[in-house]
Amino acid sequence: MSATVTRDQFVVNEEGITHVPTGATFIPHIGSLNSGSMYLGQLGNVLENGEDYGLVEVQAMMQQMWLEYIAENADED
């Protein structure tokens, strides 16, 4: 059974977004905030504490939060 994915599990900044429990990270390409590299970290594995985060759930929350970050910081570029 998958562990619940919540917003407080993520760190979002200009360098990208990371799901802290799994280390899954999206790093945007320079000059294109909408494309980048995805590193899965431990996503898809059962963690030592028994938590198992679903790939689809983490990626969906990551995408939503990243789009919000881009929108909130559009004027800073």
| Prediction pTM value | 0.89
Q: Taking residues 45-64, what's their average pLDDT?
A: 93
- Mean pLDDT rounded to a whole number for the chain: 91
**What is the tens place of the pLDDT at every residue in 26-53?**
999 887 777 899 999 999 899 999 999 9
Q: Is residue 54 part of a domain?
A: yes
Enter the tokens of residue 33.
């905030």
**In this structure, are residues 7 and 65 in contact, taking their beta carbons and an 8 Å threshold?**
yes
Spatial CB neighbours of 41, under 8 Å, sequence gap ≥ 6: 19, 22, 23, 24, 25
Lowest mean pLDDT among 11-20, 41-50, 54-63, 68-77: 68-77
Q: Is residue 11 part of a domain?
A: yes
Domain count within the chain = 1
Q: Is residue 68 part of a domain?
A: yes
**CA 35 to CA 27: how far, in whole Å?**
8
Q: Is residue 2 part of a domain?
A: no
Q: Is residue 23 part of a domain?
A: yes
Q: Is residue 30 part of a domain?
A: yes
Domain that holds residue 62: 7-76
Q: Is residue 1 part of a domain?
A: no
- What are the φ and ψ backbone dihedral angles of 19, each rounded to 5 degrees? -90, 105
Q: Is residue 67 part of a domain?
A: yes
At 76 the pLDDT is: 63
